[in-house]
Amino acid sequence: MPGRKQKEQPEQNTTLSRRMMMAGLLSGFYSFARLPTARAAEPPTPLIVAGVADSQCGQWASLLAPILADELQYASPFPLTTTTGWDGVTGANLFETQQEQALPPAGVIAPGTAILAALAGDSRVHYDYQRWVPTFLSHQPTVVVGKAALHRSVASILKGQPLRVGVSRYTGPELPTLLALDLLGLRPLPLPGFGTAEAALQALRAGTVDVIQLPFDVDFSGRMAALQEEGFLPLFSNALPNSLFLRQGLPLDFTTVFAQERHRAPNALLYQAWAATATATAIKAGLMLPILSLPATVAQWRHACQKAAATHDLRVHAREENQIMLTGTVCASTYATMMPDLSVILALRRWLAFNMPRWRDTAARPLSPAAAQQHAD
């Protein structure tokens, strides 16, 4: 009957639609199940290494590449594209420019000094590290060493003599030390040209500088034992109060020392700048993804980095270098410390713009005989 046929037609259409929807779901599930196999058939895109093969980033990259490829189910390790430059800026710039390629690099392994350069407003920087997604960080703080304890330097401050600090360059890894000393009112005068720990130690022992910064590496204990016999002491560490290294013999953190010396907690914008720069200086290698990475991709990489950090090879390397590996939420929160408000970044750059001409002018003038004798004493 015509009426009955018209009634059955919608039911048939509904049944057909359900079958098509179920087929689509099964097809999607089948495609998802086959995803690892499809991925394994494709070679992974390169990881940009912001440093040479022998650098800290290069060493971490060589260990991470095969483990991450295995965890992400690729058939071959990630190719590594190494770059020149001591502070990672060249590699970070390359990572930025290659994002426009049809097959952009998978990620970048860069030191914290690349972030430090961006914070300081270095003209070489053509990338935005705040558009990176961190998945792995290797962390090691620094320690400030000088001739006497801080409270014994008050006489020198009152006489108007600056505290000479050995640095690699004005905006180099020693920047948090300069900020900390300035917050303490110690009038730091950076003397550039001491790019290695050995050069800084030699200058300290020769009396060329009054304060240096040393990494809290495997050589620190031996170096400090010898320095203490010569009258030098660790003044404070460029570490946050909750640093895990404080359980491993790291000297008092700057925040605690500031509270002891000033009888109050630091709360200025420059203190937040110190926290950002101190954290950046402590990052020896970090694996970051582009900000436009899919959430599922980020989750896979973070899980892979957590698995990699638990492997024997990476744990041994971290122990040998006296570094701590950060993954998961700790990695994300540490990275967030290096992304302060714009007001903090502007305060840091104004501080540099004000002080750098004065530093150059003061360093160009020889010390008076009385000042030279005071520093010798």
Reading the block at residue 44, the tokens are 């992974």
Q: What is the pLDDT of residue 263?
A: 86
Q: Which two tokens stand for residue 251?
A: 């000297």
Residue 159 has a pLDDT of 55
pLDDT given at position 161: 75
pLDDT at 150: 59
- What is the structure's pLDDT at 41? 56
End-to-end CA distance of the chain: 115
Q: Is the Cβ–Cβ distance between 304 and 72 less than 8 Å?
A: yes
Please tell me whether the overall predicted TM-score, pTM, comes out greater than 0.75 for this model.
yes
Task: Tell me what pLDDT residue 21 has.
Answer: 38
Strands 163-166 and 188-191, sheet pairing: parallel
Q: Rounded distance, CA 179 to CA 275, Å? A: 10
* pLDDT given at position 373: 40
DSSP collapsed to 3 states, the chain:
CHHHHHHHHHHHHHHHHHHHHHHHHHHHHHHHHCHHHHHHHCCCCCEEECCCCCCHHHHHHHHHHHHHHHHCCCCCCCCEEECCCCCCHHHHHHHHHHHHCCCCCCEEEECHHHHHHHHCCCCCCCCCHHHEEEEEEEECCEEEEECCCHHHHHHHHHCCCCEEEECCCCCCCCHHHHHHHHHCCCCEEEECCCCCHHHHHHHHHHCCCCEEEEECCCCHHHHHHHHHHCCCEEEEEECCCCCHHHHHCCCCEHHHHHHHHHCCCCCCHHHHHHHHHHHHHHEEEEEEEECCCCHHHHHHHHHHHHHHHCCHHHHHHHHHHCCEEECHHHHHHHHHHCCCCHHHHHHHHHHHHHHHHHHHHHHHCCCCHHHHHHHHC
pLDDT tens over the chain, length 377 residues = 444 444 444 444 444 344 433 333 333 333 333 344 445 557 899 999 999 999 999 999 999 999 999 999 998 899 999 999 889 999 999 999 999 888 999 999 999 999 999 999 999 999 999 999 999 999 999 999 998 665 555 445 445 678 999 999 999 999 999 999 999 988 999 999 999 999 999 999 999 999 999 999 999 999 999 999 999 999 999 999 988 898 888 999 999 999 988 889 888 999 999 999 999 999 999 999 999 999 999 999 999 999 999 999 999 999 999 999 999 999 999 999 999 999 999 999 999 999 999 999 987 775 544 344 444 44
Amino acid 14: pLDDT: 43
